[in-house]
Amino acid sequence: MRYTHVIVGAGAAGCVVANRLSQDPGNNVALLEAGPPDSNPLIHIPAGVTRLAAPEFDWGFSSAPQAQLNDRRLWYPQGRTLGGSTSVNAMIYVRGQPRDYDLWQSLGNPGWGYADVLPWFRRSERHARLSDRYHGTEGELGVARQTTYNPLTRAFVEAGRELGLAQNEDVNGSVQDGVTLYDQTRRNGRRESAATAFLHPVYRRENISVHTSALATRILVEGGCAVGVEYRQQGRRKTINAECEVIVSGGTINSPRLLLLSGIGPADELSDLGIEVVHDLPGVGKNFQDHMDVFIAAETRPVSYSRRNRVHNRLRHMLRYKLFGTGPMAAAIAEAGAFVRSDDSVAGPDIQIHCLPSFVVVKDGPMLLDGHGMSLFILNTRPRSRGSLTLNSPDPDDPPRIDPNFCSDPEGHDLRIAVEGIKWGRRFLATRALSGLVREERVPGTAVAGDDQIREYIRGWAKTGHHPVGSCAMGNGEMAVVDNQLRVRGLDRLRVIDASVMPRLVSGNTQAPTYMIGERGAAIIQAGKLV
């Protein structure tokens, strides 16, 4: 079979690119996904998210020891199935702030300012609630709110108003500040993933071929041009050629990993591992950024989506979900959130608070505690720490070394904002709206009171916010990996199109921006230039 384009990775960006390129009958597109098909029902039921951290759906990564977090290795989940992380995430649809994209442009990326990218956000979107200059209603990706909410979620929103925050009906519009019921990637009570939105509807196209359980091991380069991909499927080594381009969409961990395995990256690192240097590109795997997550868990009156409640009423919940697409099984893990400022001097919100009406903590993976409770997961949305992604060996089966390098910024900014985030979370719990439902703060507990104690708690419990970006950064400097047309610098017929190209982390979840990058990247390929 002859293919014009070979795409590696069926996540948010890869599925969009495969869909758009296969709209042209002159193209013949192959999409390689290391994981299995997305056929497990748990993927499509929103409440199934806590059971998706399993080898069937996840790469099983963990971080390098974090020097500023008591040398802990952090759980680092990444989706490994059709849809990638969009099949296993919290479904939150947040774009960030307009200034995030204007910053991208100022860093040497013309055509990536907010005015440039807004049409590509709208292109994907089939918004069930909003139709205006910020939102689309004709795209493939279902975006909607839940139809019913837990009482703790409603109380959280009221608590935000009590604290003087506006109830923001569109944090993806002109202003992000405020408390909000999240828009989510959902349709008819089910998860909407990149696969359900962009792949399943086009399976009958004759010019798209989806290969699952296909682990890409090397990009084939001849004479400075990418010509194909070597991969392994069912224990057999295979090769697939691309007449036009190879497109790497493996995400912030697996895209630089594949480039490095292919001899594309810092020459000294590759040589030290015995990998032949195909192209010296020092920025591959650098500029790694992620949101660090801290949390508060509180025991509540018996109103949450507790472990006991789910088991005792499982049949009733399943019936309600099957008949009406509502109830606890249709609920996302985080139903609401708030965007607040660490102090009045910052330009825009720099703290995001997720409200989970479940008694959830994370220690080497998510854990539902017994009894009723709620959790607030809190992110510094503009971190200054920078990490890296490197190889441990030339073996494609060895996991890479993932080092987000949390709280490593010399000024101590990131740790300070995390402390302020805990204080903001406690302000929510102390409001009239929530204090009548909250019985006791259990984690970290009221004994953790002063800033020094909060810092120690953070060092012992902080985790990834699941938003890694930047390891194949877009730009025009010597550490840039791709240019503003997402072409790998110094090589022909090779692009990276996914969250790894973000030069800076956006002020919120990264799912929506990655869909946008997929749309924009596909349009650039189709037009043959920046559009």
Q: Does residue 150 sit in the same domain as residue 234?
A: no
Pairing of strands 125-127, 141-144: parallel
Handedness of CA 483, 486, 489, 491 (dihedral sign): negative
Mean of pLDDT values over 286-293? 99
Mean of pLDDT values over 247-256? 99
Max Cα separation, the chain?
A: 69
In whole angstroms, what is the distance from residue 8 CA to residue 31 CA? 6
Three-state secondary structure along 307-356?
Answer: HHHHHHCHHHHHHHHHHHCCCHHHCCCCCEEEEECCCCCCCCCCEEEEEE
Structure confidence at residue 531 as a pLDDT band (50, 70, 90): low
- Statement: residue 386 has pLDDT above 70: yes
In whole angstroms, what is the distance from residue 371 CA to residue 127 CA? 36
Catalytically annotated residue among 44, 279, 372, 467: 467
Range of the domain at 12: 1-144+184-290+387-405+467-531
Supply the pTM of this predicted model: 0.97
| Residue 51 CB coordination number (10 Å) | 14
In whole angstroms, what is the distance from residue 36 CA to residue 332 CA? 23
Q: Does residue 188 sit in the same domain as residue 167?
A: no
Angle at 145 between CA 151 and CA 139, to 5 degrees: 170
Choose one of 418, 433, 461: the last residue of a domain: 461
Count of structural domains, the chain? 2
CATH of the domain at 419: 3.30.410.40
pLDDT tens for residues 503-516? 999 999 999 999 99
In whole angstroms, what is the distance from residue 308 CA to residue 423 CA? 30
Q: Does residue 234 sit in the same domain as residue 366?
A: no
Q: Does residue 7 sit in the same domain as residue 84?
A: yes
CATH of the domain at 267: 3.50.50.60
Structure confidence at residue 451 as a pLDDT band (50, 70, 90): very high
- Look-up of token digits 């990536």: 112
| Residue 478 CB coordination number (10 Å) | 9
pLDDT tens for residues 37-90? 999 999 999 998 878 878 899 999 999 999 999 999 999 999 999 999 999 999
3-state secondary structure at position 236 = strand
Mean of pLDDT values over 440-448? 97
- Statement: residue 323 has pLDDT above 80: no
Provide the token pair at 512: 């929506």
Structure confidence at residue 455 as a pLDDT band (50, 70, 90): very high
Identify the H or E element spanning 418: helix 413-429
Q: How far are the Cα atoms of 5, 220, 249, 362 from residue 217, in angstroms, in the given order?
A: 17, 10, 14, 32
Pairing of strands 463-464, 438-443: unpaired
Choose one of 441, 461, 481: the last residue of a domain: 461
Look at residue 384 in the predicted model and tell me its pLDDT: 98
Provide the token pair at 384: 């200054």
Phi, then psi, of 419 in degrees rounded to 5: -60, -45
Q: Does residue 4 sit in the same domain as residue 110?
A: yes
Query: Would you call 477 exposed, middle or buried from its count of C-beta atoms within 10 A (0-12, 13-18, 19+)?
Result: exposed
Provide the token pair at 68: 């500023």
3-state secondary structure at position 387 = strand
Q: Does residue 363 sit in the same domain as residue 452?
A: yes
Look at residue 364 in the predicted model and tell me its pLDDT: 78
- Statement: residue 312 has pLDDT above 60: no
Look at residue 311 in the predicted model and tell me its pLDDT: 53
Q: How far are the Cα atoms of 157, 344, 348 from residue 177, in angstroms, in the given order?
A: 13, 12, 7
Please tell me the chain's helix, strand, coil percentages from 3-state DSSP, rounded to the nearest 5.
30, 25, 45
3-state secondary structure at position 361 = strand
Q: Return the half-sphere exposure (C-beta side, CA atoms, 13 A cut-off) of residue 310.
A: 19
Look at residue 407 in the predicted model and tell me its pLDDT: 99
Q: Does residue 427 sit in the same domain as residue 525?
A: no
Q: Does residue 319 sit in the same domain as residue 376?
A: yes
Look at residue 317 in the predicted model and tell me its pLDDT: 80
Mean pLDDT, rounded, of the chain: 96
- Look-up of token digits 């649809």: 93
User: What percent of the chain stands above pLDDT 90?
Assistant: 90
Cβ-count burial 160-191 (b if 16+ within 10 Å, e if not): bebbebeebebbbeeebbbbbbbbbbbbebbb
Q: Return the half-sphere exposure (C-beta side, CA atoms, 13 A cut-off) of residue 406.
A: 35
Q: Does residue 418 sit in the same domain as residue 374?
A: yes
pLDDT tens for residues 390-440? 999 999 999 999 999 999 999 999 999 999 999 999 999 999 999 999 999
DSSP 51: G
Look at residue 365 in the predicted model and tell me its pLDDT: 79
Instruction: Establish whether 467 is a catalytic residue.
Output: yes
Q: Does residue 126 sit in the same domain as residue 161?
A: no
Cβ-count burial 441-462 (b if 16+ within 10 Å, e if not): bbbbeeebeeeeebbebbbebb
Look at residue 530 in the predicted model and tell me its pLDDT: 64
Q: Does residue 159 sit in the same domain as residue 26?
A: no
In whole angstroms, what is the distance from residue 40 CA to residue 45 CA? 10
In whole angstroms, what is the distance from residue 320 CA to residue 358 CA? 19
Look at residue 73 in the predicted model and tell me its pLDDT: 98
Choose one of 446, 461, 476: the last residue of a domain: 461
Q: Does residue 111 sit in the same domain as residue 247?
A: yes
pLDDT tens for residues 130-173? 999 999 999 999 999 999 999 999 999 999 999 999 999 999 99
508 and 291 Cβ atoms separated by less than 8 Å: no
Mean of pLDDT values over 456-480? 98
pLDDT tens for residues 103-139? 999 999 999 999 999 999 999 999 999 999 999 999 9
3-state secondary structure at position 106 = helix
Structure confidence at residue 366 as a pLDDT band (50, 70, 90): confident
